[in-house]
Amino acid sequence: MIEGDQTKWGDITDSDNEGDQQEAVQDSNDLASGNIKKVTEVITKNGKRIKVTKTIRVYKRLVKTNKNVEDRKKRWVKFGKCAGVEGPEPGVTGVAEAVPFILGEEERKEKKRLAQEKREEEEMKRFISSIKGAQPGAAAASVTSPGVWKRREQPARSAPASLNPANQPARTPGAYVPPHKLRSQEEEATTLRVTNLSEDTSEDDLRALFRPFGDISRVFLAMDKEKMKSKGFAFINFRSRDSAQKAMNDLNGKGWNYLILSIEWAKPSSK
């Protein structure tokens, strides 16, 4: 707020200077109103005096600093032609106010989106790993000695007869492939990724929603451990791809629990 007054000058000392000049006089009660500061300026221009009162709102922002970084800066030693000279060098150093870097709204949203995508990818990897570990006859992923190799080789020979060799991926003759890897592609091919779920969604709700389309082997709902609420996405693993396809065709884009469901095939985990 700026107020101009050119007639009342009882509180201003006369000056004989006719040139342009500016004098700043701060009120004695600068911060009487908390974060409100008043500054009074007297400007003499072309023989006329102008009194300007500015009302300024002061904002305070806490900035965290690393004490270790500040200590290291204090121990820096000048070298070369500047060695031994104290104080800042006017030729290479400009003294200015420290301005902290503060992310804008778009940068914060982008950072939050990338963090959310990373969490979803980790949840997907844990979901696929839990499915693989639940299969009968699953072998250890790492083999470090010939003795362990022989012990781990036996479950592959006694694998369930339900595994169809025609559907198994091609492999080098004589090479050992753990049973859980033989079915990994089939399991990932029958998994749906459901997004845009409400916070109060539970696994039982998802089972009741998807069970009419076919047998479900597993339901994984991503939960916030602190708030104990849904993160908004889940993975549904069907026993057959036809059932998963039917569920996606019927429920994708449909309203459920006041939200529009978004359903797609789960992306295969990185090998």
pLDDT digits (tens, 9 = 90+) for 195-236: 999 888 999 999 999 999 999 988 999 888 888 888 899 999
Element (H, E) at 57: strand 48-57
Sign of CA dihedral 265, 266, 270, 271: negative
Q: What is the pLDDT of residues 116-141, one digit of tens each?
A: 888 888 887 777 777 665 544 444 44
Model pLDDT, residue 147: 44
Question: Which CATH fold topology does 117-132+186-265 show?
Answer: Alpha-Beta Plaits (3.30.70)
Q: Rounded to two decimals, what is the model's pTM?
A: 0.36
Tokens 């290291």 belong to residue = 72
CB 5 within 8 Å of CB 49: no
Write down the domain spans for the chain.
19-70, 117-132+186-265
Residues 137 and 167: their CA atoms lie apart, in Å, by: 18
Element (H, E) at 263: strand 262-265
